[in-house]
Structure 1
Amino acid sequence: MAHIDLGIDEKEFPGITGPMRYRPETAKPLNELAEVLLRAPNTLPAGERELIAAYVSGRNDCEFCCASHSAFAAAQLDEGYDLVDQVRADLDSAPISAKLRALLRIAGAVQVSGRNVTSELVADARAQGATDTEIHDTVLIAAAFCMFNRYVDGLGTFAPAGRDAYAASARQVVEFGYGATVRTD
């Protein structure tokens, strides 16, 4: 049960969807940020950006955000959950590009502290072909997901168990985006 009365059935509105339904005026800019970071046109594919969100959420032990963004990433990556699981289990041996690995290392540093992002991490990402915009967006995705994770867990929201619980929301996000995931009726 959430720490505050969100006025909803938390099983119908798990994780971040409950607090967003509770405060639609704060949900709007948060969803707009997620939409820009994770779905807007970008040189990094949406599946890779979702993978960054899932990776950071996993490192933060945020069950809902990790599970939901793992589902969103898997739905948009050719390798699906196999790749998501490999990245989350062992970044160094996961079958991803050197550029994505370097960006995920930056995201992991941000998850600990923004000050952990070093010139060496940035230089490595650039050497692997990352653009300044991709580095910027990786840092912002990681920072935003630290906030989203703390929002979800700080309110003690419900996280459904099992991948099947996230399949419908993955289809909805992939097809319609983040603004469509919160009903305010």
Structure 2
Amino acid sequence: MPHIAMSPELAPGTPGLFQYRPETGRPLGELAETLLRSPHSLGRGDRELIATYVSVLNHCKFCSSTHSEVSAAQIDGGRALVDKVLDDVDSAPISPKLRALIKIAGATVEGGHAVTAELVDAARQAGATDTEIHDSVLISAAFCMFNRYCDGLAAIVPDDPRAYAGMAQMIINDGYRMCATGH
């Protein structure tokens, strides 16, 4: 049961919280839209994979379930690759650059000071640009916030895995701006 009184018509998870308070939800939806869907040298599926990895580390069922579906639908290798990364990023068949960026994102979950010069140097040596490094840290920091927002208010979270596939398809089609408005 949510910690705050919310209309049952609101979407589950973070989108429902965005809709509950649109004056804060709109800029948060815009942030997600910019980080995960805007033109970028990293594909949408890769950025969603970073968000998924962070959400798993934070034990956020809603965000990890939703974003793993969004990533799987947009990344070569689909669900099998997402699961391999979540099981063991070191042995997953992803590029050295993406692996290094995911490790930076994971360090960000621990705290900003856990992102070391060695992690950043390894990402650069693997071909990561400063923008990719910046955005990996920001995706991680934002998802730490989103995860805590969702779980800290005990947002309604679907039990049916099929619900996440449906939400993922809406995000792929309509983006994150719709999360704050519900349409």
**TM-score, length basis structure 2:** 0.96
**Partner in structure 2 of residue 164 of structure 1:** 162
Number of residues of Structure 1 aligned to a counterpart in Structure 2 = 183
- Residues 169 and 181, structure 1, Cα contact 8 Å, conserved in 2: no
CA distance, structure 2, for counterparts of residue 160 and residue 74 of structure 1:
19
Indicate the SS of the match to 1:42.
coil
Q: Within the alignment, does 1:4 sit opposite 2:4 as a pair?
A: yes
Q: Deviations over 1:23-58 (max 9, x none)?
A: 011110000000000000000000000000000000
Comparing both structures, which one devotes a greater share of its residues to helix? 2
The AA in structure 1 aligned to 2:33 is: E
Q: Take 1:150 and 1:115, find their aligned partners in 2: how far apart are those partners?
A: 20
- Aligned residues: CA RMSD: 1.3
- Shift of residue 8 of structure 1? 2.8
The equivalent residue for 2:60 is 62
**Whole-Å separation in 1 of the counterparts to 2:25 and 2:81:** 30
SS of residue matched to 1:16: helix
Indicate yes or no: 2:27 matched with 1:29. yes
Range moving further from structure 2, 70-79 or 128-137: 70-79
For 1:75, the equivalent position in structure 2 comes to 73
Contact residue 99 and residue 129 of structure 1 kept, 8 A: yes
Q: Normalising by structure 1, what TM-score?
A: 0.95
Unaligned runs of 5+ in 1: none
SS of the residue corresponding to residue 81 of structure 1 reads helix
Letter matched to residue 152 of structure 2 = G
Q: What residue ranges of structure 2 are gaps of 5+ in the alignment? A: none
Say if 2:26 and 2:181, in contact at 8 Å, map to a contact too. Answer: no
Distance 1:113 1:67 in 2: 23
Q: Note if contact 1:172-1:181 (Cα within 8 Å) is conserved in structure 2.
A: no
On the 8 A contact 2:108/2:115 being kept in 1, the answer is yes
Equivalent of 1:101 in 88, 99, 102: 99
Query: Does 1:120 find its partner at 2:118?
Result: yes
* Secondary structure of the structure 2 residue equivalent to 1:83: helix
Task: Quote the offset at 1:162 in angstroms.
Answer: 4.0
Q: Does the CA contact (< 8 Å) of 2:48 and 2:67 recur in 1?
A: yes
**In 2, distance between residues paired with 1:140 and 1:45?**
16
Q: Give deviations 1:81-125, integer Å, cap 9, x for gaps.
A: 111111111111111000000000000000110110000000000
Per-residue CA distance 1:127-185 (angstroms, 9 max, x = gap): 00000000000000000000000000000012112431111211111112111234358
Matches of 2:69 and 2:23 in 1, distance apart? 26
Q: 5 Å matches for 1:76-91?
A: 76-91=74-89
How far residue 61 of structure 1 moved from its aligned partner, in angstroms, is: 0.1
